[in-house]
Amino acid sequence: MPGQDEERSPGRWDEGPAYGTAGYRRGGEPAGSYAHLGGRGRDQDHYVEQDHYLELEEPQSGDHYPEDDQPGGRHGGDERYPEEQFAADGGHVDEYGHWVYDEDGDPAYLGYNRRGHARRHPPRRVRPVRTVVLSVLVAFILAVVGLYFHFEGEINPGGHPGKIVSLNIPAGASSAQIGSILAKAGVIHGSSLFRYYVKLKGAGPLLPGTYRLAVNEKYDQVISALSAGPPVITERLVIPEGFTMQQVAARVAALPTLGLSAAKFLAAASSGQVRSPYEPTGVNNLEGLIFPATYQIRQGLTEADVLQALVDRFDQEATILNLAQASADLGLSPYQVITVASIVEREAKQDADRGPVASTLYNRLKLGMPLGADSTLIYALRQANPSIPLSSINYNQPNPYNTRLNKGLPPTPIANAGVPSLSAATAPPATSYLYFVETNPDGKLSFASTSSGFASLQVQCRQAGLC
């Protein structure tokens, strides 16, 4: 540099007792420079920028540094060489003589204190914003991961599905209501999450009905089942020929999975809620107007639904038999012919006897004779007491259904007749029979046209132990 005896390398230093005193010659040119700063330092009043080096002005006696007020001076009594102190604080001198910090590469600006010791300005400290942001980000990630595993545990629960439970989804139920029903039954664990999951998946519609689902089931399995609709569960209902309405109601109530009631079935049959076109005005009794057959009853049907199906089937069979025209040919109403068919059903045990029995009943009606069919009184008494023994019945007691005493037909049919009895009643053979008696243990009947013939048949009945 101008005014110096020789040019110095930026990376070399004058030898001396310490860097603090070798870098400055009182009353003359600086003997050397500690660093190439590329600009002015913080103590700008004591730096003179020349070329690529900073020459230091002589400190004035009036200069005061806050560090001088501390015990031991600005360095707290630390008399180590400046590079040693700087290296201890995490810095180093690069190949150009620049004092830099290892952490962020900022240059360390040096100056001198009054004692001629090198003075280092502290590095700029990094504010804790980065740490705060990082902490918040980590906390957010952990929260998201925790929520993910929580929701995943509800959507796809671990372990095997539990027991099967039955539940009903009512018509018009929202996804939130469906979720509550499922959660209450234990099928899922959270109703709110289920509602959002259904919306997210775009699933639906979820169909009403009765379902059998497993406890602790996966959401996708539940949604698939509800979207497909309730399984078609049917029960086989067998109604034998000759069954009464009470017996049919008991069979309906005995269906294991349908949950139907005998009382509700009978109420629907006697309230007018379900009617037959063959039911006379003012009569609310469907006895004789349902068809004995085998039915497949679907789950979800009510008692009235089942009864309507039985009545509809009877109407179909009656149409096939041309009941209306046949009744007109006999001079009777369809309801009266159905009543005759019900008596035939109860009196005749073999199909071969059904036609002759129907003919006998019509012949007695034409003559104004009481029908004398004990089955009518038995029906009436067993409505009140289904287990009443036949041996205890007084056949001479007053009763609208006692056809030994009363002329004409009973008030209603006494059973539900099948096709053989209905056919016999609609198209009876032409006979002169006025009597029939059971004379064989297999149920075979014998017929007579006179009172003497009837007496003979009674002897046969007693001999067979049937009377």
Identify the CATH number of the domain in which residue 207 sits: 3.30.1490.480
Mean pLDDT on 130-153:
73
Domain closes at, from 228, 250, 271: 228
3-state helix, strand, coil in the chain (%, to 5): 40, 10, 50
- Does 294 lie in the same domain as 356? no
DSSP 107: B
| Strand intervals (E) in 306-444 | 435-438
Residue 150 identity (one-letter amino acid): H
Domain closes at, from 278, 296, 320: 320
Domain closes at, from 89, 120, 151: 120
In the numeric block, which tokens belong to residue 224? 């698939």
What is the Cα gyration radius of the chain?
Answer: 56
Give the domain range for residue 153: 135-228
Q: Is 466 inside any structural domain?
A: no
Start-end of H helices in 240-322: 245-253, 262-270, 303-320
As for how many domains the chain has, the answer is: 4
Q: What is the pLDDT of residues 53-92, one digit of tens each?
A: 444 444 555 555 554 555 545 444 445 555 555 555 556 5
Range in 48-57, 193-202, 207-216 the model is least confident about: 48-57
Q: What is the pTM for the complete model shown?
A: 0.60
Range in 102-111, 352-361, 373-382, 388-397 the model is least confident about: 102-111
Confidence of residue 435 (pLDDT cuts 50, 70, 90): very high
Q: Is it the case that residue 159 has pLDDT exceeding 80?
A: no
Q: What three-state secondary structure class fits 359?
A: helix
- Does 140 lie in the same domain as 106? no
- Does 410 lie in the same domain as 337? yes
Q: Is 7 inside any structural domain?
A: no
- Does 358 lie in the same domain as 315? no
% of the chain surpassing 70 pLDDT: 70
- Does 87 lie in the same domain as 144? no
Q: Is 1 inside any structural domain?
A: no
- Does 414 lie in the same domain as 345? yes
Mean pLDDT on 169-190:
87
What CA dihedral angle connects 377, 379, 381 and 383, to 10 degrees? -160
List all residues 6 or more positions away from 174 whose beta carbon is below 8 Å from its beta carbon: none
Most confident range, picked from 95-104, 222-231, 451-460: 451-460
